[in-house]
Amino acid sequence: MKNKGSVFSLIPYYAWIILFVIAPILLVGYYSLLDLDGNFTFANYKQFFTSVYLKMTLSSFWYAFLITVFSLLISYPAAYLITRLKHKNLWLILIIIPSWINLLLKTYAFIGIFGNKGPINAFFEKIGLGNQQILFTDFSFIFVSVYIFIPFMILPIFNSLDKLNPALMDAAKDLGASRITTFRRVIIPMTMNGIKAGIQAVFIPALSLFMITRLIAGNKVITLGTAIEQQFLVTQNWGMGSTIAVFLIIIMFIIMFLTGSKEKGDAQYGKNK
């Protein structure tokens, strides 16, 4: 494909890459080396390696891990079942629509649902469990996050399942594989790219959510994202905020590397359309 576009038409795009992709990362790195007065220092990094911040990072990881696992466990069967349905594309749209409703609104809904006098507590009282504090707990944070991420997990998994050639399943059956064996040895490996894409789409945002922690978990759960927001907008300590951001960026690249799919594999297994 040569000479498709002239050099000039690419200038805005290159400018975008330099200004909004490369420069911001460099700036975050630069600011992480500054203290509150703008002097050069490694103090922020020293502080990050104290127990307070390490504990926070670990707990943020743990929450993100739980959120990803639960989303995957709920989404995989759902995506699988949708591919078997007659009007699968319509069903897929129905799954995606909630993801287009503003995140804040969905989170806000749970303030009412999990509230002290909300429907869940009304139900608890009816079955004799009594009033429970649901809002501002770990549970509510994980539940709401999983709720929000389910469509983002279903979508890539659905796409990879949908590309799967049904003949492979038939072949496995003919060769004597049980349903579980077929699932474990054929379906899962061949949809690995979808699973990885889903994990990537959930795990990284789960590390960095801050509005859900603020609205649903009170200040009980502090994720890396919450800490960054706190440092930037509340404490106004951009240096420390940038240091946490640097680590979040590093983690992000590690996860991208681990879950990155090879281009070739994807095309090879694709059903020829």
- For residues 179 to 208, the per-residue mask of contacts with other proteins, x marking binding by CB under 8 A and - elsewhere, is ---------------------x---xx-xx
CB of 54 to other proteins, least distance (A): 19
- Site residues (CB under 8 A) for other proteins, limited to 208-237: 208, 210-211, 214-215, 224-225, 228-229, 232-233
- Does 34 participate in binding other proteins (rule CB under 8 A)? no
Near other proteins in 128-157, by CB under 8 A: 147, 150-151
| Count of alpha carbons within 13 angstroms of residue 142, beta-carbon side | 16
* Beta carbon nearer to other proteins, 22 or 52: 22
Q: Find the part of the chain contacting other proteins (CB under 8 A) among 86-94, 133-141, 157-165, 185-193.
A: 86-94
The span from the CA of 132 to the CA of 126, in Å, is 12
Positive/negative CA dihedral, 114, 135, 234, 209: negative
Near other proteins in 95-124, by CB under 8 A? 95, 97-98, 100-113, 115, 117-119
Residue 157 to residue 76: CA distance in whole angstroms? 7
| DSSP states along 211-267 | HHHHHTSTTT---HHHHHHIIIIIS--HHHHHHHHHHHHHHHHHHHHHHPPPHHHHH
For residues 191 and 243, which CB has a smaller minimum distance to other proteins in the complex? Answer: 243
Interacting stretch for other proteins, rule CB under 8 A, among 17-25, 38-46, 53-61, 185-193?
Answer: 17-25
Stretch that binds other proteins, among 47-55, 84-92, 155-163, 188-196 (CB under 8 A): 84-92
Complex with other proteins: residue 57 or 242, whichever CB lies closer:
242
In whole angstroms, what is the distance from residue 25 CA to residue 114 CA?
39
**182-200 in b/e burial notation, b at 16+ Cβ within 10 A?**
beeebbeebbebbbbbbbb
The radius of gyration of the chain's CA atoms, rounded to the nearest angstrom, is 23
Closest alpha carbon to 241 in 249, 176, 124 = 249
Our CB check for other proteins shows the closer of 121 and 191 to be 121
Among 36, 66, 74, 186, binds other proteins (CB under 8 A): 74
